[in-house]
Amino acid sequence: MQIGESIRTSLEEVRGHPLRSAFTLFGVILGTLALVVVMSVLDGVQHSVLKGIDDLGLDGVIAASQRTPVDRVEKAKAHLSRGLRAEDVKAFDDSQNITEMSPVGETRSVITAGNTTRRINVYGVMPEYADIHNRKTSMGRFISQRDAETNAAVAVLGYRLKTQLFGGEEAIGRQVNLGDRRLTVIGIGTKFDTTFVDDDDLVKEMGGVYIPWTIYRDMFGRANAISYMLAKAVTPEKSVEAEDEATARFRQAHNGIGDTRINNIGKDILRERGQIEIILRNWRIVFFSIAGVSLLIGGVGIFSVLKISISERLFEIGLRKSMGASDVDIFMQFLIESVTLSVVGAAIGLLLGMGVVGLISKFFPAGLPVSAFGVMVSTGFAIFVGLFAGLYPSLSASRLQPVEALRA
């Protein structure tokens, strides 16, 4: 038995009966096309959603803000606490669950560069803020420890703000006026992906400016400088322990007064990630099942066509057997033909699927690569369908007696 000859015969059957072959392969083509497109789109959606969550920079993050005590005794002793202060960071020097902390000041102000003026959000932060909130720069650098120690008059512009103030020109090293303070631009923030995670805070940050905490405090006053405090848990999974520790340490630092509200943002983000993965996994199961049904229908078509082909070629089978071909040779010939038909359908489906993915990739900012998993699964499933659909017809053909086949 020659495998190449069996494949050639299969392809001749496809070319000799184009309409019949088209209907036969339609299910395989459609199933393969659906699997490739759906898996690629779901991979793209998952990447974009998780990228948006990463851009939020809130994994393992805990926020502390000022609140008015609700307990009557604490209200009476409220004067014993000076409220949320930057100095509270020192209370966490030996913390086992919290790695970094940074006070954050947030307000609105006016920034001017040349003849362009914008009203923007201003963020006063310490160098640790970049690690806590996962903030990077697309150009230049972020605020450093030296900037904080020397009270450097520097600024990091948001991605959109840089374009609004300087257009396509170089901004690093240029001067801007924030209120009545002149600052030197040392960095440009990154562009956040808000396609699937529509968050107003990300939009505000891209249109805002970061400045050192010390500069912010000098500009907007010590009393009202701090808006909230951010802390980073050792790992996202340790955020609950970090929350409990933060609650206890803030109360101790404030003389037993519960005037600090702790918001475990990291725990919420961790839960959202899990829910997103569950939803996408369920969608994969649903679409995989639908595409699988199409492939099985294609298998029925291959089964039917193979039975017809065998009935049309009984004389050929009888002649081959009379010339010494074994049952195994006949069985393998038709089984290879069945698999070849399925592979041809899968190849056409893959090419069409890649074309469709290329067309819809423009709707994804980061592009939409063809899912390698989808390609492997669809191809493997198509080959399996070809094998399964060809078993019985091939077995029937191999059991024919030469005399009966020649008479037919």
Residue 1 confidence (pLDDT): 47
Residue 296 and residue 284: Cα distance in Å, rounded?
18
pLDDT along the chain (408 residues), means of 10: 64 67 76 86 83 84 85 70 83 88 92 92 93 91 92 94 92 92 94 74 90 91 77 90 90 83 89 87 83 76 74 71 74 78 85 89 78 85 82 77 65
pLDDT at 403: 65
Predicted local confidence at residue 406, as pLDDT:
64
Task: Assign 123 to helix, strand or coil.
Answer: strand
The pLDDT score that the predictor gives to residue 408 is 58
Residue 316 CA to residue 406 CA, distance in Å, equals 8
pLDDT of residue 194: 72
Residue 152 confidence (pLDDT): 93
Dist CA 74 CA 83 (whole Å) = 13
Nearest to residue 338, comparing CAs of 392, 400, 292, 401? Answer: 392
Helices (H), 313-400: 314-322, 327-360, 372-398
- The C-alpha atoms of residue 141 and residue 160 are separated, in whole angstroms, by 17
